[in-house]
A = this chain, B = another copy of it.
Amino acid sequence: MRVGLLTGGGDVPGLNAVIRAVVKRGEGEHGHSIVGFRHGWRGLADGDVMPLTRSHIRNVLPTGGTLLGTARYHPHADDGGLDAVRATLEEERIEALICIGGDGTLHAASKVAESGVKIVAVPKTIDNDVWGTDRSIGFDTAVSIATEAVDRIHTTAESHNRVMIVEVMGRHAGWIAATAGIAGGAELVLAPEEPFDIDRVVRFLQHRHRAHASFSIIVVAEGAVPMEGSSMTYETRLGPFGEIVAGAISERLGAEIAARTGFDTRVTILGHVQRGGTPTPADRILGSRMGVAAIDAVSAGESGVMTALRGDDVVLVPLSEIAGKVKQVPAEMLEVARALA
């Protein structure tokens, strides 16, 4: 059986663990040939292929990025894109496709699946907002990087009198903000799930600094927004790929707090650092398990499904159940962040 493999969307640590698992299990157990497409869906549309054998995956387990490359291209959003994809799949005699990606890739996967191609998806996004799975690949590493930054700022903050704002990723959900906020002991977590009231934020800081504190750390997700009708105006700025511009909310928030409190307010924007480097063991394990589950699913004739972590188990869920949903941070976790401030 010839199985295609691609990684779509922004890259995250743990992708190479999936690729390695698909190749090792696919070759070793099932005797499949694995064909990689370079630069995500773009390579599938353009016919940019590379064979994937054991020699390609030596030593990749602890590495970040993706050996296949990736691109922010979606065939269903491009005129003739789906036709080009089908043509490549036919030409390369691909019987099934495993695609690793986030929102956009999962959406593309269901579109392509509708046209009869066998597809199994593997969820990755440092935002962790894919519905139907406890964890997406890349999230654990991003939390670890963001927490380390909060830890570091914590020690410098203690020596001064200031407000430190740390902006982390999370457009539709505040998973990194909430977890790094809890793990790093931040005073305030601002997440897209709960638009914030700038007046309450300012009162909280003033009260806290009057009472005893000489510093406060605020972790804010890039997708956080002020409450409607509140006294802070803000409009989300989007970049060329529809992504939120790094620093937009945190710099606006910093200016607002500085103006209203007079506190020395500093902003740190983690940005791309969150996407890179050696994956944590948890991301390598999740990637390995999902890679094996994906090729096993393909071999069992499954299609239109996504691998998912549920508790201790890796299971398959229909792509149709996931479409259009965003997994937000549970209220309990946001409450923990608040309780431990």
Using CB atoms and an 8 Å cutoff, list the residues of chain A in contact with chain B. 10-11, 13, 20-21, 24-25, 28-29, 59, 61-66, 69-71, 134, 140, 143-145, 147-149, 151-160, 164, 179-180, 182-185, 246, 266, 268-269, 271-273, 275-278, 280-282, 284-285, 288-289, 292, 310-314, 327, 330, 332-333, 335-336, 339-340
Contact = CB atoms under 8 A, between A and B. Distances in A.
Contacts of A70: 159-160
A332 to B, nearest CB: 7
A84 B327 CA distance: 49
A65 B156 contact: yes
Nearest to A246: B266
A26 B268 CA distance: 32
Contacts of A246: 266
Most buried by B among A24, A154, A182: A182
Contacts of A313: 330, 332
B268 A159 contact: no
A143 B269 contact: no
A160 B149 CA distance: 25
Contacts of A144: 280-281
B289 A151 contact: no
| A-B CB proximity, top 8 nearest | A64-B155, A152-B276, A152-B277, A183-B281, A65-B155, A147-B281, A156-B276, A183-B284
24 contacts: A10-B156, A11-B155, A11-B159, A20-B340, A21-B339, A25-B339, A62-B185, A65-B159, A69-B158, A69-B159, A70-B160, A151-B276, A151-B277, A152-B275, A152-B277, A154-B276, A179-B281, A182-B284, A184-B281, A268-B273, A288-B336, A292-B335, A292-B340, A312-B330
